[in-house]
Amino acid sequence: MNEKTYARIILGVTCTIPLFIWLLTWWLPSEYYIEDPAYSYWMEQKDYVMGDGDRREILLLGDSRIKSDLVSSELGDDTYNVALPGGRPIEMYYTLQNYIVHHPTPKAVFVSFAPVHFYVMETYLKFTQYYRYFDDATIDQINRVIKEHGGKDYASETRDYRYRLPNIYMKPILKSLVYPHREENVRIYHNAKSHKESMTYDVNTERKAVYSPELRHGTFECPAYMNFYMEKIIELCLEENIPIYIEQMPMGNPGYNILVEHGYISDYQQYMRGLRDKYNIPVNDEIPVYPSKYFVDDSHLNENGAHKFTAEFRQKYQSVFDGE
């Protein structure tokens, strides 16, 4: 074999492998290659929201804290948790909008986001595009809003996901050929469906100390584009005459006390009070502080903590859940 022939073979192989991977991304269902428990929750929620329903429900919107800290079945038969792991006001606005199209108007909506999810955007395209949660038109609309409100230009990264380029898809696709993830993703999907989308953690896991993810950031500040979507959630509820309540999920110590000392909590509470004053809606700006033994990690309550908080939450809003 001469050098030219060898070079052609190497070039052919080098070009063929990425092409093969690229074709696989369009043919292989995403549940085979996505290795993330959150993926199945996002897909189950999408199917539920976009599927036609005939029941009037009380909705829980937000991120993984409200998803794991409140047990839907203990709040009432007509309560459904459509919060998403890593969810932000961006995703929840379109979730609520789509829900209203396919379901009767909710009886009430409870909204809660961890403070960190008002400004952290690292997983935005992963969750919305890699998971195929939004269509291209919605992604383009969100990108325009973010850019127009002083945020990052996601156009280039969006193209990489949209056209399923190898720099994103090659590694998970190749891994899935040896270790497919479909069975585990399907299991989590059905588990989420059977628990009305609540995500309760193991009762046997307890923390000795709780250091909230918010500690990795200096001060709380909600970017204009995220505030835009938070206000859109509120305005959509008001337009549809849906009672809306903005709530807080528990934090633990010493993390919470450190955030207080650094002024983070007061900045966050000021933002919450601004929403309350502008729209004249119920906004609780006081974050409950629970003992460390009720946490499974630095963000979420364990099963004991979830049952305790759910009971307190239901008692606080008994008139809402009992339909009085």
Please spell the DSSP secondary structure of 5-18, one letter per residue.
HHHHHHHHHHHHHH
pLDDT tens string 192-227: 777 655 666 666 677 788 999 999 988 899 999 999
14 pLDDT exceeds 60?
no
Residue 294 CB-density burial (10 A; 0-12 exposed, 13-18 middle, 19+ buried):
buried
pLDDT of res. 224: 98
What CA–CA distances, in Å, run from 43 to 35, 65, 78, 141, 190?
13, 18, 21, 21, 11
pLDDT tens string 27-84: 677 887 888 888 888 899 999 999 998 889 999 999 999 999 999 989 998 999 999 9
CATH architecture for residues 42-150+194-319? 3-Layer(aba) Sandwich (3.40)
Task: Report, as an integer, the average pLDDT of 285-309.
Answer: 94
pLDDT tens string 156-188: 999 988 888 778 877 887 787 778 888 888 888
Return the domain boundaries, the chain: 42-150+194-319
5 pLDDT exceeds 70?
no
Task: Report, as an integer, the average pLDDT of 220-240.
Answer: 98
25 pLDDT exceeds 80?
no
In angstroms, how far is CA 158 from the centroid of its own chain? 19
Predicted TM-score (pTM) of this structure:
0.89
Q: Cβ atoms within 10 A of the Cβ of 220, count?
A: 21
Q: CA 154 to CA 144: how far, in whole Å?
A: 9
